[in-house]
């Protein structure tokens, strides 16, 4: 179960000359290392481009996040947002740590179940759930966060047909008047309260009341109301905004009790929790630096707001569920590319360093999103110039602009940091590119956890109707 003590996987922290994070840094030989593995050796063995993921960084991040919340609010369950990294091995690691999971759609739920995740620790989210995913959730006992009025009837009918009782939550659309003057940064623009309102997820208060009343009066033998759910998303990186959201969730829970008699056992606050680094990362030109709230600050802000609101409304403290994705998986991964052609246009002082890693492999660069870039085999060399690091796609495919680099040459390698979240899980095949392999590192061990794509993976789905074959070849 989610609150069970984590299995004892001991974390042995490496010592680097320079640390980018606990398990990623510059080793004594001047190369980039992930835990006990030299990235230069890994990429020459497993090929380029390559995603490298640190098991121990992943575990470390999870523990820090969990402890940051539980220090202030002991009854907190962490549900890893599987969408941020759907690797089967990653899900096994989260299971071993005692994490639950947020699933979006049939396949994410299927992968989590295939990895042996306890279904009682999963939730199913989504604004338009298909009958098959509702059936998979009901059959396996995964809590469904209802996100449409008629979805409630679909869930009830499925539970009836399968003869299985099921936990349900209600995904709400908070009003957040206190965030009317707070502006979303990065992907979303506009006032935070307005962004939430125009997004397609969640139901307004009146509908939450109706759902609650219907479940309690017509469906209570099969549907058990378990949680109120909301996801603020990555609108900002400051704990105080998440505190406002958490306080309003507690307020809505108390108001729902007054209006319907239902006492929500859990409030689920979704994801969007950020991490920063001094080298900068994140949307736009890297808004996430050292000023980003720490996990402890997020935990403290959320706990203070929920406790204060519950006290004010005389509402029993609910359990908390939190669905972090990038805060746990982001920093655990890097993506490596090999340097090819170098194009120097000194007239305008432009220099392009072409690599085989592309926007297909780290699609967030188009948001745009800044990743810090490290020259793998020249990581401790003095920087001598500013260059554009560019991928091979026929779009402009810029992975980094004006990056300070040592003199890079064909055959060198560079690595983008913090690609453990939403790189592999959002990658594409534009220009018929293959998606890279992923290697999972633990200490000095490395194992392939995602195979590199082959021609059959890219071509294998294509079909040519016989009439076209005839038309193409008959005249020859």
Ligand X SMILES: Cc1ncc(COP(=O)(O)O)c(C=O)c1O
**Which residue ranges make up the site for ligand X (CB under 6 A)?**
81, 83-84, 102, 125, 231, 234, 270-273, 323-327, 421
Q: Which is nearer to ligand X, 145 or 335 (CB)?
A: 145
- Smallest distance, ligand X to C-beta of residue 109, A: 13
Q: Which is nearer to ligand X, 91 or 338 (CB)?
A: 91
Cα gap 48→190, rounded to integer Å: 40
Q: Which is nearer to ligand X, 83 or 91 (CB)?
A: 83
- Smallest distance, ligand X to C-beta of residue 16, A: 27
Q: Which is nearer to ligand X, 27 or 169 (CB)?
A: 169
- Smallest distance, ligand X to C-beta of residue 94, A: 13
Q: Which is nearer to ligand X, 146 or 219 (CB)?
A: 146
* One-letter-per-residue 3-state SS of the chain: CCCCCCCCCCCCCCCCCEECCCCEEECCCCCEEECCEEHHHHHHHHCCCEEEEEHHHHHHHHHHHHHHHHCCCCCEEEEEEHHHCCCHHHHHHHHHHCCEEEEEHHHHHHHHHHCCCCHHHEEEECCCCCHHHHHHHHHHCCEEEECCHHHHHHHHHHHHHHCCCEEEEEEECCCCHHHCCCECCCCCCCEHHHHHHHCCCCECHHHHHHHHHHHHHHHCCCEEEEEEECCCCCCCCCHHHHHHHHHHHHHHHHHHHHHHCCCCCEEECCCCCCCCCCCCEEHHHHCECCCCCCHHHHHHHHHHHHHHHHHHCCCCCCEEEECCCHHHHHHHEEEEEEEEEEEEEHHHCEEEEEECCCCCCCHHHHCCEECCEEEHHHCCCCCCEEEEEECCCCCCCEEEEEEEECCCCCCCEEEEECCCCCCHHHCCCHHHCCCCEEEEEECCEEEEEECCCCHHHHHCCCCCCHHHHHHHHCCC
For 113, list phi and psi in degrees, rounded to 5.
-65, -35
Contact predicate 149/211, CB 8 Å: yes
- Smallest distance, ligand X to C-beta of residue 282, A: 11
Q: Which is nearer to ligand X, 176 or 446 (CB)?
A: 176
Q: Which is nearer to ligand X, 73 or 275 (CB)?
A: 275
Cα gap 413→313, rounded to integer Å: 58
- Smallest distance, ligand X to C-beta of residue 231, A: 4
- Smallest distance, ligand X to C-beta of residue 227, A: 12
- Smallest distance, ligand X to C-beta of residue 201, A: 7
Q: Which is nearer to ligand X, 390 or 423 (CB)?
A: 423
- Smallest distance, ligand X to C-beta of residue 453, A: 25
Cis link prior to 304 (omega < 30° from 0)? no
- Smallest distance, ligand X to C-beta of residue 171, A: 8
Listed as own residue / partner, the contacts of 252-258 with beta carbons closer than 8 Å and 24 or more positions apart are 252/172, 252/174, 252/205, 252/208, 252/228, 253/228, 253/315, 253/318, 254/309, 254/310, 254/313, 254/314, 254/315, 255/205, 255/313, 256/208, 256/209, 256/212, 256/228, 257/315
Q: Which is nearer to ligand X, 184 or 324 (CB)?
A: 324
Contact predicate 36/343, CB 8 Å: no
Q: Which is nearer to ligand X, 169 or 318 (CB)?
A: 169
- Smallest distance, ligand X to C-beta of residue 351, A: 34
- Smallest distance, ligand X to C-beta of residue 161, A: 27
- Smallest distance, ligand X to C-beta of residue 397, A: 24
Q: Which is nearer to ligand X, 295 or 413 (CB)?
A: 295
Q: Which is nearer to ligand X, 200 or 382 (CB)?
A: 200
């Amino acid at each position: 179960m989610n609150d069970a003590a984590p299995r004892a996987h001991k974390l042995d922290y490496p010592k680097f000359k320079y640390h980018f994070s606990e398990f990623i840094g510059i080793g004594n030989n001047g190369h980039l290392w992930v835990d006990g593995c030299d990235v230069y050796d890994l990429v020459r063995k497993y090929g380029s481009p390559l995603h490298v993921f640190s098991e121990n960084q992943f575990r470390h991040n999870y523990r820090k996040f969990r402890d940051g919340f539980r220090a202030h609010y002991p009854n907190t369950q962490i549900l890893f947002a599987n969408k941020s990294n759907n690797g089967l091995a990653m899900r096994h690691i989260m299971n071993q740590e005692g994490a639950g999971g947020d699933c979006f759609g049939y396949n994410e739920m299927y992968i989590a179940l295939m990895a042996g995740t306890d279904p009682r620790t999963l939730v199913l989210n989504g604004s338009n759930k298909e009958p098959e995913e509702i059936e998979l959730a009901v059959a396996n006992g995964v809590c469904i966060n209802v996100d449409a009025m008629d979805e409630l009837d679909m869930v009830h009918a499925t539970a009836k047909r399968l003869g299985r009782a099921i936990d349900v939550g209600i995904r709400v659309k908070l009003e957040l008047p206190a965030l009317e003057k707070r502006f979303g940064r990065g992907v979303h623009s506009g006032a935070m309260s307005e962004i939430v309102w125009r997004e397609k997820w969640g139901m307004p208060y009146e509908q939450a009341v109706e759902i609650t009343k219907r479940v309690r009066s017509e469906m209570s033998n099969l549907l058990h109301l378990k949680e109120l759910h909301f996801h603020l998303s990555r609108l900002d990186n400051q704990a105080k905004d998440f505190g406002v959201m958490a306080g309003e969730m507690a307020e809505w829970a108390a108001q729902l009790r007054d209006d319907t008699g239902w006492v929500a056992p859990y409030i689920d606050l979704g994801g969007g929790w950020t991490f920063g680094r001094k080298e900068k990362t994140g949307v736009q030109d890297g808004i996430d630096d050292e000023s980003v709230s720490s996990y402890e600050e997020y935990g403290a802000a959320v706990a203070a707001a929920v406790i204060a609101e519950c006290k004010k409304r005389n509402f029993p403290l609910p359990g908390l569920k939190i669905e972090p994705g990038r805060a746990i998986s982001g920093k655990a991964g890097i993506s490596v590319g090999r340097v090819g052609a170098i194009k120097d246009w000194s007239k305008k002082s432009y220099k392009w360093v072409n690599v085989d890693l592309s926007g297909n492999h780290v699609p967030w660069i188009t948001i745009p999103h800044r990743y810090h870039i490290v020259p793998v085999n020249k990581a401790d060399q003095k920087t001598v110039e500013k260059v554009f690091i560019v991928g091979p796609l026929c779009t402009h495919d810029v992975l980094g602009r004006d990056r300070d680099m040592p003199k890079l040459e064909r055959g060198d390698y560079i690595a983008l940091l913090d690609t453990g979240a939403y790189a592999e899980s959002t990658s594409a095949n534009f220009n018929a590119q293959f998606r890279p392999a992923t290697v999972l590192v633990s200490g000095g061990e490395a194992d392939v956890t995602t195979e590199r794509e082959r021609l059959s993976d890219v071509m294998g789905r294509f079909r040519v109707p016989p009439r076209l074959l005839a038309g193409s070849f008959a005249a020859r």
